[in-house]
Structure 1
Amino acid sequence: MPDPSTQARAVTAHGPPRAPVFSPAAVAASCAGFVLIGALQALYGPAIPGLRREFGLSPSAAGLGLSAHFVGGVAGVLLFDRLYGRIGNRHLLGSSHLLLAVGAAGFALAPNWPLALAAALLAGLGFGGIDYGLNQLFAVGFGHRSTAMLNILNAHFGIGAILGPALIGAAGSGHHPAVFLGFALAVLPLLLCLRGVRDRPPHPRDPEPGGTAQPEAPARSLGSVLAMFVALYVLHVGIEAGVGGWEPTHLESVGYGAGAAATATSVYWLMMTAGRFLVAPLALRFSAQAVITVSCAGMTGCLLLAAVPGLAPYAYAGVGLFIAPVFPTGLPWLHRAAPRAHRAGAVVIAASMIGGVAAGPALGKAIEGAGTRAVPLLLAGASAVCLAVTLRLIRATRPRPTHDRPA
């Protein structure tokens, strides 16, 4: 049994025990919040027929609702990052939840399309604040468990993305205002759980009790490291959105029926959600670098297999499983590699949103020249670049060997 002086030295070395960043209730509320923002983002597409009837819109005009949401999301990420550390986390998260609720309710009740777009922008602002804020806090708030917790958090986003369209389908697109309003009301109880969020989380480089600080990328290579993370996130989200958007078209072009193609796409999203739950225990045993390398290699291989018509539906399901951990697993790696770049997390998350928006037009342009059957090969090329970027990142963030100097 250690003597009192030994215990005193241990407390001095590590400081007093840190208060947890999240209480158990706040962790549960955070996961519930990600279910809601996943559902809200997925509601706009299925609501388009009802929006067209209600406001007399063309298909392209009705699609502006999701665009306004994404524009607000990027602004919300950048605004939260600007205020992060200056205002308590509880106030920032509370404001983001309120913006989401008010925006969703406004979209449901708007008497005309311009007001509905303004409400979608407002909801997107809250969406971006919640998305970035909780990802940022989970990335630094659980020590060596942060990667696992981030995968669990983002898996709940996938649950919402599956539930949202299902609810619109059950209620009918003409009843989309009631669904949006229901989600707005569901956000409000989560505000009560924000008291369990610590206002000032630890710095990402602070060692956990009994642990050691993580290596940081050399200052001269910090810019290139951030650029590689941005490339990884833009490409990864572009592939994610590209598969989700073009898988049905590709499967129909190689002989599958519309129903089978739609079902296979649903399985893709389901496998992505399941993959994040499955990787959580693995993230406690393997490094983020190893997880992302295997993920990029796996999704590249599956996309190549998707070019074989008989294997395509199963290969796309494999893509969902392998791509699942990349987004949440990369954030703790980024924070350890570049802790002095305070805006790094905001830059890569905002870039990922832009990548999701740009993926559709960019891939569509490529398909015009190569044909629909080339969809998996085009995406496999982008995935191979993701793998190459990951390997470069591993080399760039590897700690330099140190040599003991004589005393």
Structure 2
Amino acid sequence: MTTFFILIIYAAFISLGLPDSLLGTAWPLMQADFQVSTDSAGIISMIIAGGTIISSFFSSKIIRRIGTGNVTFISILMTAISLMGFHFAPSFFWLPIFAIPLGLGAGSIDAGLNEFVAEHYESRHMSWLHCFWGVGAMAGPILLSQLLAGGQNWRSVYQIVSIIQLTLAVVIFLTLPMWKKVARRDAMQKEAFPLESIEKTNPKKRSGLKEVFRLKGVVAVLLSVLFYCGTEQTMMLWGATYLIRIHEIQVSTAAAWISLFLGGITVGRFLSGFVTLRIDNIRIIRIGQITILIGLLVIILPLPEFFLPAGILLAGLGCAPIYPCILHETPVRFGKNQSQEIMGIQMAAAYTGSTFFPPIIGFIGARTSMVILPFFLFLFTSIMLLTSERVNHLTRETEIRNMDKLLE
């Protein structure tokens, strides 16, 4: 039963990744169909991102009230309805409307499942969870290309993904008792082994959002997540443009090389699930950040052209463990009483970085040169490394003080 349940959670994260890449890959066809400007996709993207940030920020309150299982069911149902709305949309006017529940649903699923896995499962499951997001993100464009080859249009892929989401929503609904059982099991373990449940912060009650921001290390971890997601999404959006304009790589080759970045993230997260059995999250995060810096140096230095895909792959492999390991470390760093609130605002910080960093770099690059891309990514990763080490320092201090109080 435990294996079946964790597979359901993995499937939910595949469903989270499926819509993420659809808009970008289907937009050229959608634009021609609706006869709107190219940058109209930015309107839909910003609405989805805005909904995701809002739902992530307030997810802890909703989860405490109705539970993670119910939140996951409702959120997947919302995304299914939204995607079916994209399928039937008669004009562009309807797309921003359906984008609202799509963003709200995605943020709730992300925050809820990350917190649930961080609290109830080992670190390897968090890495594999985000590996399955990569599977979903890669499956969307593949499904679209297959449907187009078979004579279908862009609406078909939204219909199929919506049906997949509806099917998963039914499965989640039927397994709601299992979510409650896992939560009860954890509560019983706390009662049986109280010393293992000592919180690093206030053990008597949960803190409000204002109090959470005052906890040592919270601001630093939010900055770390912000710069990680900004780095990842900026590379995904502008990497091919950089290769084409600066290195004069052919379009098809540039697309293939950038796919190494996403492939490195997906494969790296699968492998890091095994690495977490021997190395703790903090060291894995640090290794990942240093690996990104090495990969970016390979891209920046005037090396022969065949080093470029190696640098891109290294950057993807470095990215792989960072985000899931940061999220899994949340209850350890700040205590389970605070983990839902902090997980929610971490999701909000993540989507803020992925929403605003790429257009900022695109704006600067359009007015100067895209040669700036790897240099900015190197700067972002360096800040990520510094803030991450700051979190480690502050939370270690808090842990030492709490242990001293316990010994007294």
Q: Would the TM-score normalized by the shorter structure come out above 0.5?
A: yes
Quick check: which has more Rg, 1 or 2?
A: 1
Say which structure, 1 or 2, has more relative contact order (CA 8 Å, 6+ apart).
2
Q: Residues 59-208 of structure 1 correspond to what in structure 2 (within 5 A)?
A: 59-142=38-121, 145=122, 147-172=123-148, 175-190=153-168, 191-193=170-172, 194-195=175-176, 196-198=178-180, 201=183, 202=186, 206=190
Q: Which amino acid aligns with 1:275?
A: G
Q: Which residue of 2 aligns with 1:13?
A: none
Q: Residues 346-365 of structure 1 correspond to what in structure 2 (within 5 A)?
A: 346-365=344-363
CA RMSD of aligned residues (A): 2.7
Query: CA offsets, 1:188-234, max 9 Å, x none?
Result: 2223243332267347x959969834762699995341101110011
Identity of aligned residues (%): 21
Q: Which residue of 1 aligns with 2:228?
A: 236
Structure 1 residue aligned with 2:390, among 383, 389, 392?
392
Q: Is contact 2:80-2:166 (8 Å) kept?
A: yes
* Pairwise CA distance, 1:68: 2.2
Q: Which residue of 1 aligns with 2:28?
A: 49
Q: Is contact 1:367-1:375 (8 Å) kept?
A: yes
Q: Which amino acid aligns with 2:126?
A: L
Q: Is contact 2:124-2:273 (8 Å) kept?
A: yes
Between 1:181-190 and 1:152-161, the stretch displaced more is 181-190
2:229 is the counterpart of 1:251: no
Q: Secondary structure at the match of 1:284?
A: coil
* Pairwise CA distance, 1:81: 2.2
Q: Which amino acid aligns with 1:179?
A: V
Gaps of 5+ in 2: 203-210
Q: Which residue of 1 aligns with 2:207?
A: none
Structure 2 residue aligned with 1:305, among 281, 298, 311?
298
Q: Is contact 1:215-1:337 (8 Å) kept?
A: no
Gaps of 5+ in 1: 1-21
| Structure with more of its chain in helix, by fraction | 2
**CA–CA distance in structure 2, aligned partners of residues 406 and 77 of structure 1:** 38
Q: Is contact 1:90-1:199 (8 Å) kept?
A: no
Q: Which residue of 2 aligns with 1:332?
A: 328
Q: Which amino acid aligns with 1:122?
A: P
* Pairwise CA distance, 1:65: 2.4
Q: Which amino acid aligns with 1:170?
A: Q
Q: Which amino acid aligns with 1:317?
A: L
Query: CA offsets, 1:32-91, max 9 Å, x none?
Result: 221122121100011112211221110111332222222222233234322111113322
Q: Which residue of 1 aligns with 2:208?
A: none
Between 1:361-370 and 1:30-39, the stretch displaced more is 361-370
Change in CA separation of 1:392 and 1:214 when aligned onto 2, cut-off 3 Å: farther
Scaled by the length of structure 1, the TM-score of the pair is 0.86
Change in CA separation of 1:54 and 1:406 when aligned onto 2, cut-off 3 Å: closer
Change in CA separation of 1:80 and 1:222 when aligned onto 2, cut-off 3 Å: closer
Change in CA separation of 1:280 and 1:337 when aligned onto 2, cut-off 3 Å: same
Scaled by the length of structure 2, the TM-score of the pair is 0.86
